[in-house]
A and B are shown apart, each in its own frame.
Chain A
Amino acid sequence: MVFDTARRGFLLLTLAFFLLPFLWLAMTAYKPSNAIFSIPPHLFFTPTLDQFRNALRIFDVGSLVISSLLIAGGSMLLSLILGVPAGYALARSTHPAAMGVAYFFMTIRMVPAVAALIPFYLLMRDIGLIGSWFSVVLINCVLNTAFVSWMMFSYFRGLPKELEEAALTDGCRQFGAFWKVSLPAVRSGIIASALFCVLFSWNDFLFAMFLTRLDSKPISVALLSAYGTKDITWGTLGALAHFSTVPIVLIVLVLNRYFVQGLTKGIN
């Protein structure tokens, strides 16, 4: 009983440690400017929406969010289209090379972003795609496809073969067996994969920073450039950060189950 109380107390302290810094930034967005720069800093203030007005006046938030959505959504879709069938094939193939290919995908996912970015930047420059959000989708897709293939490989491997054997009678039904029997059975794996692709692409700024231009930059890059500008306060930044952080935190909180499952199953 005493132990249980201590355990809960510890967990509440831990929660405070992990949540308070985030809440601080969220709160900054509702402070009037004079409260943000007061010395000494104080906790209490009258909430205002001025910072949001400022942020919307200075930034074209709509187009920033749309770029972010295009990058995250586009790379998620392409990665699922490429990665899910590959994961299925690797899990079902008895060829000795299949395991090697699966490890190849896992290794690619671990490549440091910078190592891929410099040659990729030059490649995109040569084919004239620098400056478009599409180039960011293309490079995000390399890492995401590798990740989805590996993760779906784990999910399909855990699926009993008997399930699709009945449906596997002739050539034209092979894809049917995959599409109608196996795919619905690993629905949670697909949701988890999609979630991780979106999380990864939405949160990235390194690729986007060097591959996009003014009109195609996502919200993460805008945040970074805003930070370096003198006339933008922490309040404006906090308001802008709402648009980049709140959607993703909400998605993960709602799909929490898939997030946890994907993390523990996909990497095992």
Chain B
Amino acid sequence: MNLTSSVDSKAATRLPSVSFAMRRKFFLFAMALPAVAYVIALGVFPLVKGIWYSLYEYNLLKPARTHFVGIDNYVNLLADADFRGAIANTVIFTVFSVAIELVFGFVIALALWRDDRFNRACLTLILVPVTITPLVVGLIFKGLLLADYGMVGYYLAQWGITDPRGLFATPSTALATLIFIDIWEWTPLVALILLAGLKALPGDLLEAAAVDGATAWRTFRSITLPLMLPAVMLALTLRTIDAFRVFDSVFVTTGGGPGNSTNTLMVYAVKEGLSFFNIGKASAISNIALLCVAIIAACFILMIRHFDKKANGR
């Protein structure tokens, strides 16, 4: 009786279970389809059209002169001093802001590591810059640093620390000021990611090191830092990609000037595309930026996986 019932139930479930797997597949497919279709239709399709536009001389202000030029837009960009300047500015901006944010963020994360009420309050308040509209962040620093009546800028200029024209109006300091703004806005985010990494560290390992009499520095170098690599890589990836496509703060404060001293790739592309309606050239600039972001992302994802394997032994 026992035997027959088990055979019966097997026979009863075998056929439905095959169709269940099928239905399950279909169900999951149907659940994912709307999002994938949406992102392809309104995200990927325009991006592909952007590649198409970049092969044309296409200016909205002179619609009759739309013609195919092949890779001329790209070739011209390589010879364009403004474009090379924009690349240099973007790279300098990204390297310096991300490096300083990582170091400063790590120090803050270490200070916030212990879980007490003081630290929890600090963490909440420190996140305010991350949530403020980037546009308003730009306005804040423009207002503070103006040389004529800015609360900080006035004294910096009066005491001869900065040029009397102010930090934003001097080519030699404008980019550094923008890097400073980026650091102000995003260091808290880096600190938060690294803090999460610190909190996930295996406590017993750190205790064992303390019992063995390891110094704080030695523990940090041999245990904390290697185990933190995945979190560091994550913060590095996010910030590098975001810094590379910086737009809001530059557009609001300097608009790429003075001269072209703060012209970044994104600002250059917006100016060409949506102010001068030079769609072909602007598309070529944004496609190059897109390619750079894709390469950065791919490198970092591969590295994160590598460190993950090392850390987890998988």
Instruction: Give A contacts to B, CB under 8 Å.
Output: 7-8, 10-11, 14-15, 17-19, 21-22, 24-25, 28, 36-41, 82-83, 85-86, 88-90, 92-93, 95, 101, 103-105, 107-108, 110-123, 138-139, 141-143, 145-146, 149, 170-171, 174-175, 178, 199, 202-203, 205-206, 210, 220, 223-224, 227, 234, 237, 241, 244-245, 248-249, 252-253, 256, 259-260, 263-264, 267-268
Given contacts A24-B151, A116-B47, A248-B131, list 14 more A-B pairs with CB under 8 A. A14-B126, A25-B140, A86-B34, A111-B290, A118-B53, A119-B283, A122-B49, A122-B279, A123-B46, A146-B43, A174-B27, A199-B131, A223-B135, A263-B193
Count how many chain B residues have C-beta atoms less than 8 Å from C-beta atoms of the other chain: 89
25 CB contacts below 8 A, A to B, read: A7-B111, A19-B128, A24-B143, A28-B143, A82-B34, A86-B36, A88-B31, A93-B25, A104-B39, A112-B247, A114-B247, A115-B290, A141-B42, A171-B27, A202-B133, A203-B133, A206-B251, A220-B135, A234-B143, A241-B136, A244-B133, A245-B136, A263-B192, A267-B234, A268-B234
Q: Annotate B262-288 by CB proximity to A: 1 below 8 A, 0 otherwise.
A: 000110011001100001001100110
Which listed residue, B125, B154, B187, touches A15 by the CB 8 Å rule?
Answer: B125
A21 to B177, CA, bound (A): 14
Residues A89 and B29 in contact, CB atoms below 8 Å apart: yes
Query: Closest CB of chain A to B152's CB: distance in Å?
Result: 9
A199 to B112, CA, bound (A): 25
| A-B interface, 10 closest residue pairs, ranked by CB to CB distance from nearest | A86-B35, A264-B196, A119-B46, A115-B286, A89-B32, A89-B31, A142-B43, A112-B245, A85-B31, A89-B28
A72 to B28, CA, bound (A): 28
- Chain B residues 244 to 258 lying within 8 A of chain A, measured CB to CB, are 244-245, 247-248, 251-252
Residues B282 and A118 in contact, CB atoms below 8 Å apart: yes
**A86 and B27 contact, Cβ closer than 8 Å, known pairs A111-B43, A205-B135:** no
B209 at the A/B interface (Cβ < 8 Å)?
Answer: no
Residues of A within 8 A of B134 (CB): 203
A237 to B143, CA, bound (A): 10
Residues A95 and B25 in contact, CB atoms below 8 Å apart: yes
Residues of B within 8 A of A199 (CB): 131
Minimum CB distance partner of A7 in chain B: B111
Query: Closest CB of chain A to B305's CB: distance in Å?
Result: 11
A121 to B192, CA, bound (A): 36
Query: Closest CB of chain B to A240's CB: distance in Å?
Result: 10
Query: Closest CB of chain B to A246's CB: distance in Å?
Result: 10
Residues B32 and A93 in contact, CB atoms below 8 Å apart: yes
Residues B273 and A114 in contact, CB atoms below 8 Å apart: yes
Residues A249 and B128 in contact, CB atoms below 8 Å apart: yes
Residues of B within 8 A of A95 (CB): 25, 28
Residues B118 and A8 in contact, CB atoms below 8 Å apart: yes
Residues B139 and A121 in contact, CB atoms below 8 Å apart: no
Query: Closest CB of chain B to A16's CB: distance in Å?
Result: 10
B50 at the A/B interface (Cβ < 8 Å)?
Answer: yes
B24 at the A/B interface (Cβ < 8 Å)?
Answer: yes
**A101 and B50 contact, Cβ closer than 8 Å, known pairs A28-B143, A223-B136, A256-B124:** no
Minimum CB distance partner of B197 in chain A: A264
Which listed residue, B126, B154, B282, touches A41 by the CB 8 Å rule?
Answer: B154
- Chain B residues 31 to 62 lying within 8 A of chain A, measured CB to CB, are 31-32, 34-36, 38-39, 42-47, 49-50, 53
Which listed residue, B35, B49, B151, B187, touches A119 by the CB 8 Å rule?
Answer: B49
Residues A205 and B248 in contact, CB atoms below 8 Å apart: yes
A244 to B187, CA, bound (A): 22
Minimum CB distance partner of B125 in chain A: A15
**A105 and B39 contact, Cβ closer than 8 Å, known pairs A22-B140, A41-B150, A205-B135:** yes
Residues of B within 8 A of A41 (CB): 149-151, 154
Residues of B within 8 A of A110 (CB): 241, 293-294, 297
